[in-house]
Each structure stands twice: as C-alpha cells, then as structure tokens.
Amino acid sequence: MNEREDLAMKNQRTFSLEFKRQVVEELLSGESRQAQLCRRHNISSSVLYHWKKQYSRGKFNNEPTEEAALKDRIEKLERLVGRLTLENEFLKRGLQNSLSQYQRNGKSSSGGSTSSVLSSGGAG
C-alpha cells in the first residue's frame, strides 16, 4: 500500500448500529433535516441515504418496514423467475437436441407427435 491508501484507511470511521439507528430515526421523525444531520455528524448525504435504506430493511436491530419487506420478497421472486426461465430454456434445448439426434438416427416412428409437443410448449 502506498501512503495515500494508508491515510484513507486511517480516516475511515465506523459507526455503531445504535448510532446509525438513532440518526435515521431522527431523520424519519422530522426532528432534523438531512442536511442538518449530515453537518452535525460530519457524514455525507449518500451515507445517510444508505443507512436509511438499511434501516427500512431492518438491518439495525429494528423491525423492517412493510414496504421494505415486500420489496425484498419481490426481489427474491424475480430472481426465482429468472432462474426458472433459464432452466426451462436449457431443458427445452436439451429436449430439442435429443429429439433431433433421435430423428437423425432414423429411429423416429412417432409420426411427428414429439415435434408437436415441442412447438406447443410442453406436454400438459
């Protein structure tokens, strides 16, 4: 590490969860404005924004807000949908490859019923 990195590491402060929670609750209560809190505690507005987001998700030993809990649920479900979509596409390609290989080997006697299943999107 060079001298500049050492200096930056020494200047980085850490705040307790309790302190962060108190600052965010003061902001949310309307007791103080964001600019006032930032000046008083010598923190940037982006740090306060990040703390507020963490607070809403229950990261400071507090109950998450209902909105944040719903957002988390939506994010998890969206990831699940994405993963299942990829799996579905992978399995469709595998089935298509297996059928085309089966048909190339001259063993297809089904009369096209397997290709109709593929084009209709499944068997059920």
Please indicate whether residue 63 or residue 123 has the higher confidence score (pLDDT).
63
Q: Residues 87-102: what's their mean pLDDT?
A: 94
Pick the closest to residue 67 from 77, 55, 57 (CA basis): 57
pLDDT tens per residue across span 107-117 = 655 555 555 55
65 pLDDT higher than 50: yes
Residue with tokens 């010598």: 42
> What is the reported pTM?
0.47
66 pLDDT higher than 90: no
For a pLDDT cut of 70, what percent of the chain falls above it?
A: 77
Separation of alpha carbons 38 and 61, rounded Å? 22
Considering the domain 1-64 in this protein, what is its CATH number?
Answer: 1.10.10
Please indicate whether residue 90 or residue 54 has the higher confidence score (pLDDT).
90
List all residues 6 or more positions away from 62 whose beta carbon is below 8 Å from its beta carbon.
21, 55
Domain layout of the chain by residue ranges? 1-64, 65-96
CB atoms near residue 88 (< 10 Å): 12
